Structure 1
Amino acid sequence: MTDYDVLRVFCAANGGYGNELGVVRDGSVMPGRSERQEFAAKLGFSETVFVDDPERGVIDIYTPSARLPFAGHPCVGAAWLLDVPELVTPAGVVGARQDGEFSWIEARPEWPEPRTLRQYASAAEVDELPVPPPGEWVYAWAWEDEAAGRVRARGFPGRGDGIDEDEATGAAALLLTAQLNRALNIAQGAGSQILTAPQPHGWVEIGGRVVLEH
């Protein structure tokens, strides 16, 4: 079995929750796209990262069913694990920094796959939503405290690949931040926390706590 690490990304203040991420630190053991895709499907995490150059931060990201040019929680987790100033993804170069308990990346809203950002009237409505049928990628959100920038959100990938709900979705948080053009403190899933902030020239920072599970 190929060696891999499991991280939890966008954890709560107590280190709980967060979205699991598989990381194969030595991508050379599995260089082909088809075998990487098969391995990501076998692991079953919402995303798995293959590190092709740990010093330069070159990474390759897969869901159980597709290769992604960019994704939020894999980049935040990989930046923390590799402790590099940037990551090189097919979408572009992702800036990275560590700030106390938070790992941050800087990316562009054009990079993630399309998502439907669907606003609801209250956090309670978001909490009560059933998982929608496969189809579009839906990021359901509502203000918990608009003045403070606090958001309640849930992510439904809709791919039909066994991931009915994403515990924490950095790319969707990036898109929402770009749409609202303001810093956000997002509570997603069962208890994960995502921080964001718009940056000059259309960039967005996304930050969260990362824990090495094993």
Structure 2
Amino acid sequence: MALTIDLVDVFVDEAGAHGNPLGIAWASPSTRGRERDIVADVGFSETVFIDSVSGRDARARIFGRAGELPFSGHPLVGLAAWLLGSGDDIRSIAVPAGDVRVRADGDLVFVRALPEWAPEFQLEQLDSVEAVEGVDPDAYGRGLHYVWAWIDEGGGRVRARMFAPGLGIREDEATGSAAIRLSAQLARDLDIRQGAGSMLRTHSRYLGQQIEVGGRTSPARTFELG
């Protein structure tokens, strides 16, 4: 039986370019226990499986190439935007890490989370944007590496790249969890340009603890798997 997958790009720029691709599927008995195989077949770093939507609340699970993730930024921003675009007035998505609040602001969609829900990243500040752009991804081995530099420190504008070759990700185009960690460390709102041109925004003001990350998500395109 074919599985319908919706594909979106998360954290696209104002022209709808770049962004991190995401697969979205409804969970069912036919997907249970096959999530990692489905992720491999879809070919993206992560796919999110929707368990339920009831009123303003949804439940979902996120799977990457190595297995289930309790929290991940770009899948939740992408799922929230997809649900809102489908007519669901969603305000919360429950994942294993906790309940993630959702907010829309024009064409931007944000999710809110505790920084400790995100994986630990090695946050490495470099001296210049040129230094960030000149980094060789193959210079990094195990771990999650987020290298960054100020474009405009006063304006909170950052240039960043993320490498996780140990997880099979030579370079990640847009990493919401890393943006959350960086915003928490700096204790300020950020506009981040990552990868080839993806755009992420963070707000660090929620309760002095939670960080909001968001951006634009492309319209969905659908294909059948299997």
**Distance in 2 of aligned mates of 1:30 and 1:186:** 38
Percent identity, aligned pairs only, is 39
**Distance in 2 of aligned mates of 1:155 and 1:30:** 34
TM-score by length of 2: 0.90
Which stretch of structure 1 is more off in the superposition, 124-133 or 170-179? 124-133
Post-superposition CA distance 1:114-157 (Å, at most 9, x none): 11111100010000111134311101101011000000000112
Post-superposition CA distance 1:89-133 (Å, at most 9, x none): 000000001110100111110101211111100010000111134
1:70–1:112 contact (8 Å) kept in structure 2:
yes
Q: Name the aligned partner's letter for residue 49 of structure 2.
A: F
> 1:62-141 to 2 correspondence within 5 Å?
62-83=63-84, 84-131=90-137, 132-141=139-148
2:27–2:49 contact (8 Å) kept in structure 1:
yes
Post-superposition CA distance 1:176-213 (Å, at most 9, x none): 00000000000000010000010224001111001124
1:54–1:82 contact (8 Å) kept in structure 2:
no
1:181 is aligned to: 187
2:140–2:163 contact (8 Å) kept in structure 1:
no
- Mark the runs of 5 or more structure 1 residues left unpaired by the alignment: none
1:27 is aligned to: 27
Say whether residues 1:150 and 2:150 are aligned partners. no
Change over 3 Å in CA distance of 1:134–1:67 after alignment to 2 = farther
C-alpha displacement at 1:160, in angstroms? 3.9
Post-superposition CA distance 1:9-58 (Å, at most 9, x none): 0010111111000001x21154423x101111222212110001133311
Q: Name the aligned partner's letter for residue 42 of structure 2.
A: L
Displacement over 4 Å in runs of 4+: none
1:138–1:158 contact (8 Å) kept in structure 2:
no
For the residue of structure 2 that corresponds to 1:212, the secondary structure is coil
**Distance in 2 of aligned mates of 1:101 and 1:177:** 22
**Distance in 1 of aligned mates of 2:53 and 2:65:** 23
Post-superposition CA distance 1:45-101 (Å, at most 9, x none): 121100011333111101112210000000001111112101000000000011101
For the residue of structure 1 that corresponds to 2:166, the secondary structure is coil
1:14 is aligned to: 15
1:103–1:208 contact (8 Å) kept in structure 2:
yes
CA RMSD of aligned residues (A): 1.2
Higher strand share: 2
**Distance in 1 of aligned mates of 2:31 and 2:43:** 19
2:46 is aligned to: 47
TM-score by length of 1: 0.95
